[in-house]
Amino acid sequence: MLDVKGSAFHPNLLPNTLRQYLMKAFSAPDRWQARLIQILAVPGLLIAFYLLLYHNGSLVATCSIGTWEDCGLVSGPDAPYSSFGPIPVALIGLIGYGFIFLLIWLADWFAIVEDWLPELLIGTIGLALLFTVGLTALEIFVIHAVCRYCLISAVIILAMFILAVGYLRASNRAAGESKD
């Protein structure tokens, strides 16, 4: 439950639907991993949006040119590996982060999503991790340059995957205890 002892905030001051939502969202003891994944999706969305704007030529990157850290070679408008056909890699990242955020949000409203959330997160974030590892390997071994924003996104995806594994393990443990 939401513990508010010693604070000026009291849950009875909130409208009923908001109070019920907050109590449900934070009442499960092992739900914190999903909430942290959802929070991590926000900077991921921002980074992917920035890279999409950079890819489209709407922004100028802050990375050095002609060095090991060259965003232009990795995700710039003329970078050969910055898109799959007509689809920019940054757009794929933006859609992926948005999907992860919405998946966790939908679990609060739909029981079927809530029941399968740990498995859905492992599958979704696992695919994102494989995609990220492939792109990072491409940066290092083929392009011979890295993009700092892409690396930050890779760290976010890795942290999300570790949290998703922890969430799956906790939910399996809780399901095993409820059967006993």
| Model confidence at 103: pLDDT above 90 | yes
Say which amino acid occupies 92. I
Question: What is the structure's pLDDT at 68?
Answer: 81
The Cα 59–Cα 69 span in angstroms is: 17
3-state secondary structure of 117: helix
Q: Where are the beta strands (DSSP E) in the chain?
A: 83-84, 87-88
Q: Which two tokens stand for residue 78?
A: 């003329």
Between 28 and 106, the higher pLDDT residue? 106
Do residues 177 and 30 lie in contact, with contact meaning Cβ atoms separated by under 8 Å?
no
User: At 21, is the pLDDT very low, low, confident or very high (cuts 50, 70, 90)?
Assistant: low
| Residue-wise pLDDT tens digits, 45-77 | 999 999 999 999 888 777 777 778 888 889 888
pLDDT tens string 129-146 = 999 999 999 999 999 999
Per the model's pLDDT, the better-predicted residue between 4 and 168 turns out to be 168
Q: For residue 10, what pLDDT is reported? A: 57
Please state the domain extents for the chain: 38-60+69-174
pLDDT for 4: 47
**CATH superfamily ID and name for 38-60+69-174:** VKOR domain (1.20.1440.130)
Give the pLDDT band (50/70/90) at residue 14.
low
Query: Which strand (E) or helix (H) includes residue 65?
Result: none
Average pLDDT score, the chain: 86
- Is the pLDDT higher at 174 or at 169? 169
φ, ψ dihedrals at 151, nearest 5°: -70, -40
Alpha carbons within 13 A on the beta-carbon side of 172: 8
